[in-house]
Amino acid sequence: MSLLELFDMTDKVVIVTGASSGLGVSFAQGFAEAGADLVLAARRADRLAETAESVRATGRRALVVPADVSVPEQCQAVVDAAVAEFGRVDVLINNAGVASAYPATRETPDQFRAVVDVNLHGSYWMAQACGRVMPAGGSIVNISSILGITTAGLPQAAYTASKAAIIGLTRDLAQQWGSRKGIRVNALAPGFFQSEMTDTYDEGYAASLMPRVVLGRYGRGEEIAATAVWLASAAGGYITGQTIAIDGGVTIT
């Protein structure tokens, strides 16, 4: 197999959660361009339809399954729909997530739980459902954050705790499923990428972060999508249990 063929995802079936906006759209487009068929899950069905159209424009198939990943039964429904439509699941991009920014002394239990339910619990329920049906050679890519490794000047206890927990979850699932099932599990820890989330930042906050970014700019969606394709494809076939920071150098400063 040639070097370029190692990255080929032709006819693989890839589930992307949180596929209605931001990095989820980038992941969907990246895997479609690499040859995969997509199962797109998120709560906003209207936005999922837009992502599906961008996938189909590449000549690949797209299945839309509205779902809230904090509900285990809905995670199972996504996987069941994928198997019914395509016959299998090869890759999960565990991207669905929400953020919050509350001072720790004022954050309510419901506010904290709402973030953990989606970011951590949802990632686990999706991985669990996929792990039951994935063939040997399957790959799960969990989306953590550099805020699971460092801080960014905002009070984000729930978000950072959930994203740090995903790193631990990644290691454990990699250990459980590597030799027994032949499934690789890795995580990406994105830094600062332009998204709906960054659009909500107070004016001047983004500029204040740039001194910590060695490369001096936001990341681009195609850069993180390309890294996910590498991890999920045969090109990343000897990598498991790892967390890859895609952060322009934030975590080395």
Nearest CA to 82 out of 67, 96, 95 is that of 67
Cβ neighbors of 111 (< 8 A, separation 6 or more) are 100, 102, 158
Cβ neighbors of 110 (< 8 A, separation 6 or more) are none
Quote the tokens at residue 116: 């953990």
Whole-angstrom Cα distance, residue 251 to residue 253?
Answer: 6
Nearest CA to 95 out of 3, 191, 44, 26 is that of 26
Quote the tokens at residue 181: 């099932």
Active site residues: 159
Cβ atoms within 10 Å, residue 5: 11
Cβ atoms within 10 Å, residue 236: 21
